[in-house]
Amino acid sequence: MTEPFRKTVLIVIDGLRPDAITPGGMPILHEIFARGWRAGRALTVRPSVTVAALTSLASGVGPTRHGMTEARLLHLPRLRHLRPLPAELRRLAVETTVITPALPGAARWMAGALLRLGGVTRLIADASAPTALFGAAAKRLTGNGRPELVVVYANDADLAGHAWGWMSPAYLRAAQAVDRGLAHILPFIDDPETLVITTADHGGGGVLPDDHDHPHPVNERIPLVLAGGRVTAGTGREEQAIHLLDIPPTVLHGFGGTAPRSWEGRVIHEAFSMELSTV
């Protein structure tokens, strides 16, 4: 048995396909993959769209339960019956910080209100480039000793995918820019008190070259790696797919909590070198 993590950083790179992570294209993320525990095969929710995937990460349940498959406020009442991850963390005195690129006034206000509903402690939404985004995350990870989940959301690759197509030169350049930002995170994979989880909400280019919402393996396959001082390096079995829904229970477990029974995923125990104690 071992102590819970002090910090966990969950990095969501919107629209990042696993095959974009090459030594030449994304050298830093490639290194994090080499030194961490990576899923042999990881899948996102269906439909493979951002609002559905992010709501699943926040709530522990799939789109059929949370109903958020498009960015409308229609399904908000349903969200009140869920047990969001930040609220579960708050019961363990763990804060949640969400860091996003700069949002225009109204969107920032709405995101802030939505996140507060789910128990998020603070929203930092002023970064203009991935280096600033991940720099802000590094500051949270070193800034205080309190237990904290830091969620970083980078949308550069998705924007380029919609404009120029998935795996196009512009898309790969956007992925490269995100990778340069990850230099701020790299030192933390040696810290035994920090857990670093990097994933994506969906792929893209499976059916339409510049979209990702149709059911297709290329749209639904996502990269997923766990790293940090207490993670065992290795690769999960290809035949046992890890699901995006396995992330919330794993994060909660890392802070010593136990997932609500309504959550759909499972803790990725095989990524850790020793069993964590739960409260």
**Which residues would be at the binding site for Zn ion (CB under 5 A)?**
158
Closer residue to Zn ion (CB): 88 or 158: 158
Distance CA(208)–CA(200), nearest Å, equals 19
Indicate the residue whose CB is closest to Zn ion: 158
Report residue 192 as tokens.
Answer: 């035994």
Look up residue 210 and give its amino acid: D
Distance CA(13)–CA(101), nearest Å, equals 12
Closer residue to Zn ion (CB): 198 or 219: 219
Closer residue to Zn ion (CB): 95 or 158: 158
Closer residue to Zn ion (CB): 148 or 158: 158
Residue 268: helix, strand or coil by DSSP?
coil
Closer residue to Zn ion (CB): 158 or 264: 158
Question: Which residue is it, tokens 């696993």?
Answer: 18
Closer residue to Zn ion (CB): 158 or 246: 158
- Minimum Å distance from CB 75 to Zn ion? 19
- Minimum Å distance from CB 72 to Zn ion? 16
Going 52 to 53 to 58 to 60, the CA torsion angle's sign is positive
- Minimum Å distance from CB 160 to Zn ion? 10
- Minimum Å distance from CB 54 to Zn ion? 11
For 201-234, give the DSSP string: S----SSSTT---SS-HHHHB--EEEESTTBPPE
54 CB-near residues (< 8 Å, 6+ apart): 12, 153, 201
- Minimum Å distance from CB 162 to Zn ion? 6
- C-beta neighbour count of 206 within 10 angstroms: 21
Distance CA(276)–CA(192), nearest Å, equals 12
